Amino acid sequence: MAIDFGPDDARGWVAPEEEALIQQMKVGALEMVQRTFTVWFRRVLDYILACGIIIAALHLTAGVVVVSIFGMTMEAQQAISVVSLDPSSVVVSLYALIIEQSPLVPYAIVLGVTAIIIGALASGAAVRLVLWDYGNPGQGTVQESVSWSASNLPRVAGTMVAVGVITGGLNAPLRTLISQIQGLSEVQMMQFLIDNSRLFLLAFVLVIVGIYISIRMLPVVAALIYEDTGIADALKRSYELTSGAFWHTVGSYLALAIAVGIVNYFLSLIVGSLLYAVYMGSVITYAIVTMLTGPVYYVYVGILYRDLRAREEIRQQQFW
């Protein structure tokens, strides 16, 4: 049974006022980014409480523990890279450490599993909150959102793992080939590339397919929450919603990534300058910046879902 988030939740015939609301939810890529930051900023403290703090704690704890035990070695940095809110990145990073036979694999597996669980909890809480708040400012509470996410953690985590395994797995062949190049001389490397040119081409194609699927799965968590579906149905709905809106989704996501990157850059400069002389200042800086802007992505997911759903409703109305 789908969750009632407001008057536009019903399908089929819509009243004029509901149709106007649907039209308002349909926005261009740049306006979507603007709305994302507006919705995030007006309840920034709530988003920090709902997911920012737990995300920052994850990165800070992982960084401090790994660096304290193994120092700032290359392998330690690779183990820390496993701590990502993107399940695909978790899968790829773990795979890279495994094929390189890194001694930090057991630690990385623990970090990766923890990252997926924390990421699912944060994602569920933040997306739930934005789905309530967007279009109904002030609706929804941090407590209710976190409680819902915790009680539905298996569904949210399972959905994220499914997407991560599929998209991350498609990156595995290229990662394997790259690992075989490492340590070769320039001549040996060129010969390897020539001998395995078809494999590299196939691997690049698989990476492109993985990126394509990742874009199609961007609204999957919001679909699962808003429509109260299971994992398989959420994956199907995400694919349906992005049908006919792929480049629109790509454009909005790239615009968001650029905007967040700029904000993170300046925040890192400010916070980093204040913590320059502090032990593990870079780790602490990253944790603080992530706490502040990490929720922005989840806000975007909720707004993207409402935009894509509005586009779907409009297409259905035009068809009939």
CA distance 72 to 286: 15
9 has pLDDT over 90 = no
Q: For 96-144, what is each residue's pLDDT tens digit?
A: 888 877 777 888 888 888 888 999 999 999 999 999 999 888 888 999 9
**How many domains is the chain built from?**
1
pLDDT given at position 59: 78
Residue 162 within any structural domain of the chain: yes
pLDDT given at position 75: 67
Write the DSSP symbol of residue 9. Answer: G
- Name the 3-class secondary structure at 207: helix
Residue 174 within any structural domain of the chain: yes
CA distance 178 to 186: 14
The share of the chain scoring above pLDDT 70, in percent, equals 88
Q: How is residue 51 written in tokens?
A: 């997911």
Count of other CB atoms within 10 angstroms of residue 175: 17
pLDDT given at position 16: 52
Residue 278 within any structural domain of the chain: yes
Domain span holding position 43 = 31-319
Residue 13 within any structural domain of the chain: no
Residue 206 within any structural domain of the chain: yes
1 has pLDDT over 60 = no
Residue 45 within any structural domain of the chain: yes
pLDDT given at position 19: 59
pLDDT given at position 249: 95
11 has pLDDT over 50 = no
pLDDT category at 151 given cuts 50, 70, 90 is very high
pLDDT given at position 5: 52
Max avg pLDDT among 105-119, 184-198, 254-268: 254-268
61 has pLDDT over 70 = yes
300 has pLDDT over 90 = yes
DSSP output for 50-111:
IIIHHHHHHHHHHHHHHHHHH-S-HHHHHHHHT--SSHHHHHHHHHHHHHTT-TTHHHHHHH
pLDDT given at position 306: 93
pLDDT category at 318 given cuts 50, 70, 90 is low
Q: Which of 2-6, 71-75, 145-149, 306-310 has the lowest mean pLDDT?
A: 2-6
Residue 164 within any structural domain of the chain: yes
The share of the chain scoring above pLDDT 90, in percent, equals 48
CA distance 167 to 214: 6
Looking at residue 189, its amino acid is: M
Residue 8 within any structural domain of the chain: no
pLDDT category at 4 given cuts 50, 70, 90 is low
Rounded to an integer, the average pLDDT of 244-265 is 95
pLDDT given at position 98: 83
Cβ contact 320:279 at 8 Å: no
Rounded to an integer, the average pLDDT of 16-41 is 82
Task: State the chain's maximal CA–CA distance in angstroms.
Answer: 69
Q: How is residue 63 written in tokens?
A: 């960084």
12 has pLDDT over 70 = no
CA distance 316 to 240: 13
Rounded to an integer, the average pLDDT of 22-30 is 82
Count of other CB atoms within 10 angstroms of residue 92: 24
Q: Which of 63-72, 142-151, 236-245 has the lowest mean pLDDT?
A: 63-72
pLDDT given at position 56: 87
Q: Which of 105-119, 126-140, 154-168, 306-320 has the lowest mean pLDDT?
A: 306-320
Q: Sign of torsion, CA 289 56 129 28?
A: positive
pLDDT given at position 2: 53
pLDDT given at position 316: 75
Nearest-5° Cα angle at 81, 89 to 124: 55
